Structure 1
Amino acid sequence: MIGSKVNDILVFLSVVETGSFVAGGKAFGLSRSTAGKAVARLEETYGMRLLNRTTRALDLTEEGRSLYEHGQTIRAAIEAADESVAGDPSTPRGTLRITAPDGLGRRLLLPTVYRYLDLWPETQIEMSFSDRVDNVVETGFDLAVRIAVTSPEQGFVVRTLLRSEALLCAAPSYFETRERPLNAEQLSTHNLLMFASGHERQGWVLQEEDGTAYRAQGHVRLRCDSGEALREAALAGRGIALLTRVMIGEDIAQGRLEHVLPRAAFGTVPIVALYPHKRLLDARVRRFIDMLSDDLRRQPAD
């Protein structure tokens, strides 16, 4: 009885992660119908709906999300048992699924990814480059790297990898027809490039040299949901952007961007790793986080 329920839970995890009964069942050599029956048995056993089914998508209910989180622990325990029999349980094996912001991911994570794959030949990595803060569980990722996320959803662990200084920046070409601002108030005459995602709208609060806090005002004609897109807009001379030093430090050093209001402070921004809470954290996840933390700390941060 327990064994059959565990099998059904593993099929349920696969259905959630692939987003369909067809793909979820195929991972276990099962038909769509058989995978659907496995989920139906779980719903009958627990007396509640686990998935809301539509013609286009499968959405977890609250009960389904809870079962998914516990199911991950079951799967991790099985994988740990397999590894302990097959070899060193501290050796990463299998597929690691990571999501990270586009700019940060491409320029700062990929070197770590390459080194990780070279070091651990029994691993594979699947990466998604997106600034959207998707539900890591429902999208099947083992790990999310995010900027400025400090309060993750319940059931997630957050580990700060690096704190990077936030800087105002603009291309020299932007100031060819404009005066450079000498204080925060003068930003009101400039084009500001700001981050926006869904209902979230970025605002800038800076501390001037005398300690006064000031909310920056200006003409916001372009908002993007990608930090890399904001960087490219700044490089193109479209306005002033607020980005982390870890993203634009090289641009400033090479003169492609310049530091605007260098005496004003915007504080530091955390770059964090988010992963589902597990009693047994997979070796492949733990090793990658440790390696990424070391690599990021070698970057010019503050």
Structure 2
Amino acid sequence: MSRLNLDEMSAFMAVVETGSFVAGGRSLGLTRSAAGKAITRLEAHLGVRLLNRTTRNMSVTDDGQLFYQHCIQIFSQLEEAQDSVGQKAGAPRGNLRISLPDALGRLLVLPLLAEYQRLWPDVQVDASFSDRVVDIIDEGFDLAVRIGNHATDSSLVSRTVAHHRAVICAAPAYVQAYGAPQTADDLLHHQCLVFSSRMKRQPWRLQEASGEWLKVSPNSRLRLDSAEAIRDAALLGLGLAYLPAFLAADYLENGRLKQLLQAYGTEEVPVQAIYPSKRHLPPKVRGFIDLMVERWKC
């Protein structure tokens, strides 16, 4: 079987990522017609249809989605090969694909990305902001930043880059209407805003004065998969929230949220950088991890 044409693969990826032949072709300096012909040749080579085309719309087939994921991995590996032999003194360069939790990413990581690009102008960054736990390898990410301990398989490496603590809080209006819990058991009589992802609810962990840890699964009529959405729901008086301190700090300071159950401790939660296990970590990845550690003094 003859080899795939990288230019045709690039055209296919560009069209998928932009959602149109015109924009995809333009991003590569091609006309709409040239981009379309490149993908037609690629489909003929593979013997499958990658894109469904109508006069008004374009959509990616199941085979196209699968092939696109492989293309991401192939071009990532090509980029790594280029980086490994083409960098001067190990300077970061190329494209860094990073997955970030939505709130932490925008509040704390985005400023670091700006600084990182000032330090290393030869790096381009594709950042995905979502609380969804991505499959780093299958989806072609170089690096993911995640909150909490995450079990990883042998193909992944994790490094703690920061820590944060949680706070239990609620809007003053909620406290005025329903009172403030005095003990962990009181949580069973309150409406709590719980983080839930993929049908799995996150428990609240509290430490008593004796040092004993309690795992509480509070009552909840409203479950959300976004920490910022939980904060916003708390601000609306919809219940008690168990939030990262960095997300609640400004609202506790201005009085829009009130901290509760302060007699209890909360666990120190790690913020982890997770990346594919490789003998030679690309400088673009190592550089950003090192920047996070340096700025957050972990």
Give the TM-score normalised by the residue count of structure 2. Answer: 0.76
1:9 positional shift: 8.9
CA offset digits 1:34-70 (Å, max 9, x no partner): 4457768xxxxxxxxxxxx95475237xxx98x9879
**Residue of structure 1 in register with 2:219 after alignment:** 219
Distance (whole Å) between structure 1 residues aligned to residue 246 and residue 99 of structure 2: 18
Residue 78 of structure 1 aligns with an amino acid whose one-letter code is Q
Matches for 1:232-243 after TM superposition, within 5 Å:
232-243=232-243
Question: 207-216 vs 162-171, which deviates more?
Answer: 207-216
Alignment CA distance shift 1:112-1:38 (3 Å): farther
Query: Does the 8 Å CA contact 1:73/1:278 hold for their aligned counterparts?
Result: no
Query: Does the 8 Å CA contact 1:10/1:71 hold for their aligned counterparts?
Result: no
Matches for 1:147-162 after TM superposition, within 5 Å:
147-162=147-162
RMSD: 3.7
Query: Does the 8 Å CA contact 2:235/2:257 hold for their aligned counterparts?
Result: yes
1:181 positional shift: 0.9
Distance (whole Å) between structure 1 residues aligned to residue 211 and residue 229 of structure 2: 31
**Residue of structure 2 in register with 1:82 after alignment:** 86
Unaligned 5+ segments in structure 1 are 41-52
1:58 paired residue among 40, 44, 65: 65
Aligned length: 276
1:111 positional shift: 0.9
Alignment CA distance shift 1:296-1:170 (3 Å): farther
Give the TM-score normalised by the residue count of structure 1. Answer: 0.75
Matches for 1:120-199 after TM superposition, within 5 Å:
120-199=120-199
Query: Does the 8 Å CA contact 2:9/2:39 hold for their aligned counterparts?
Result: no
Distance (whole Å) between structure 1 residues aligned to residue 215 and residue 276 of structure 2: 35
Please give the secondary structure, in 2, of the residue aligned with 1:219: coil
Please give the secondary structure, in 2, of the residue aligned with 1:141: coil
Please give the secondary structure, in 2, of the residue aligned with 1:280: coil
1:275 positional shift: 1.4
Query: % of aligned pairs identical?
Result: 34
1:198 positional shift: 1.3
Question: 261-270 vs 188-197, which deviates more?
Answer: 261-270
1:253 positional shift: 3.4
Question: 159-168 vs 185-194, which deviates more?
Answer: 159-168
Alignment CA distance shift 1:139-1:68 (3 Å): closer
1:140 positional shift: 2.5
Alignment CA distance shift 1:93-1:14 (3 Å): farther
Alignment CA distance shift 1:217-1:276 (3 Å): closer
